[in-house]
Structures are given as C-alpha cells and as structure tokens.
Amino acid sequence: MNGRETAITDDALARPSTHLFLSPHYDDIALSCGGTARRLRGLGRSPEVAIVFGSEPDPENGFTAFATAMHVGWGMDAHEVIASRRAEEADAAAVLGTEVSFLPFHDAIYRGERYLNDPELFGEVRGDEFDLAAAIISALGLERIEKSSTRIYAPLAIGWHVDHQIVFHAGVALGANGWDVWFYEDLPYALKPGISAERIERVGIDVVIAALVAVHATWEAKIDAIMAYPSQLETIFRYVDSTSGQTEIDALLRGYATGAGDGVAVERFWRVNRG
C-alpha cells in the first residue's frame, strides 16, 4: 500500500481502551473515518464522538444572511436545525456503534459576522478565535480518562474549513501534551486531486502516516451512516459535482479509499513526526 505502508492489525488498532473522535460538525466522523469507528466497535471498543461545534445558536442574536441561506439549503428553519441534526447524528451513531457527546461551541456560521461567505468559511481563522483550541481541550474533560490508554482522532483540516482548522490545532496541542493523536483526512474535501498533499505541505508541522485502516468489511456501515444525514448530502457533495444519491456517493468514496490502499479500501491517518 503506497509502497511502504500496510494496513494496521486489529490488535494494534484496538490496543488503546479509549478511542475519542473529535468531530467539528455532526457528519464529519461518518464521512472521514466511519469505517474505522465501526471496526473498533466490532473489536469490542466503544468509540466516543465529541461534536465540537454543534451547540444550539441563540435566535435572540439573529442570523446572518449566510446562515439563513444555509438553513434554506438544508430545508430547515432556524428552530429545527440543531434538533434535526442531532436526530441525524443519533441515526448515524446507531449504525456505527458510537457514543456521542456535544461540546458547548457554535458552528462558524453562528459566531457573529466573522464568516459571511464560503471564501471566509474556508479561509483564515479570525485572530480573536485562536483561543478556541484551548477551550475545546478544556471542555473535553480529559481528566476522566487515562492518557496512556487513549487515542484521540482529530481532523487534518484538508479543505481549510475554519472549524476543522481550529479542531486540528486542538489536536496538535493535545499531541504536544503527550496524548496519542491521529489526524484523519477530511472527506469529501480530500477527493479534490492534490488537496491533501497541499494541506500537508502548508500545515507548518511535519506529519507522517500513522496508519492505514482497512475498512472493506465495514464499508456498508460507513455509507449507511453517511446517508443518515439527508439534510446535508446536497451541501456536502456539491464540492465534487455529485448528486446526493447513495450509488454516486459510494462510488466516489470507494474510489478514493481503494486508491489510497492500492486496491483495498482504507481510511488514512497521520501523526506529528517527533522523530
């Protein structure tokens, strides 16, 4: 696989007793590493998913035109958004066997007027939000778990969504503090040719492949979990010129996964290279 890497064994994958996936939004784990989460469940682990930016927005603060347009695209009014998204997450969790918790942070589109269009949403993190990574770490309540027997999964922030970048920096900080952190490639953004290599080149930190996780046995569960987010499919897959049909989504993701694994469907993870 890619010349040197081979898929990780069951024992190595499941060796930590705690597996915590940091999900910037409600659908990111199913899309990016749902096959891994489901495989861990089959190996007797209880994968945990922390939804970082999924808190209920305050309607008293009003919504920007950008946020309102997103609601229209999702086919939900402002009062329905979070309840509907959490219902979708529950359906996906039932498929993957994950346990879900919610951190008290708002999606970027609800954080005032910092991000008012797609170029801003997929651009630079506003300077007054640099402390969010530390706040996320604090909200995780990691004192409840043993560092030496825990693996944390964070986004590599391929695609440069600002929320993904913030959670990436939380992952980097956790790794610097001695936690075992694997970074997953953000899908469907990673489907764009060359974008993963560009992100790795520009990330400013030396990252190397940590593992290839074979997910052919859990692939159907991954796709079923993705399809549990019907409000998001058209928005998510517009970036790859796809319709929201399951066949098209399966083909797009399967093609990428088997390409990464030289014919075997895999999900790839990176770690910071500390020598």
When divided into structural domains, the chain yields a total of 1
Q: Give the sign of the dihedral formed by CA 211, CA 216, CA 218, CA 224.
A: positive
Is residue 186 assigned to a domain?
A: yes
The domain spanning residue 60 has which CATH number?
3.40.50.10320
Q: How many residues does the chain have?
A: 275
Asked if residue 42 belongs to a domain, the reply is yes
Residue-level pLDDT at 3: 40
Can you give the pLDDT of all 275 residues of the chain as single tens digits?
444 567 899 999 999 999 999 999 999 999 999 999 999 999 999 999 999 999 988 777 789 999 999 888 888 877 788 899 999 999 999 999 999 999 999 999 999 999 999 999 999 999 999 999 999 999 999 999 999 999 999 999 999 999 999 999 999 999 999 999 999 999 999 999 999 999 999 998 999 999 999 999 999 999 999 999 988 888 888 755 555 688 999 999 999 999 999 999 999 999 999 87
Kindly state the tokens that stand for 138.
């604090």
Could you tell me the residue range of the domain that residue 148 belongs to?
Answer: 10-272
The answer to whether residue 5 sits within a structural domain is: no
Tell which phi-psi region holds residue 44, choosing left (phi > 0), alpha (psi between -120 and 50) or beta: left
In a domain, 96, yes or no: yes
- 127: in domain: yes
Domain-located, residue 1: no
Asked, for residue 3, whether it belongs to a domain, the answer is no
What's this model's pTM, rounded to 2 decimal places? 0.94
Cα–Cα distance between 107 and 109 in angstroms, integer?
5
Question: Is the residue at 2 inside a domain?
Answer: no
Listing DSSP states for 11-30 in one string gives HHHH-SSEEEEEESSTTHHH
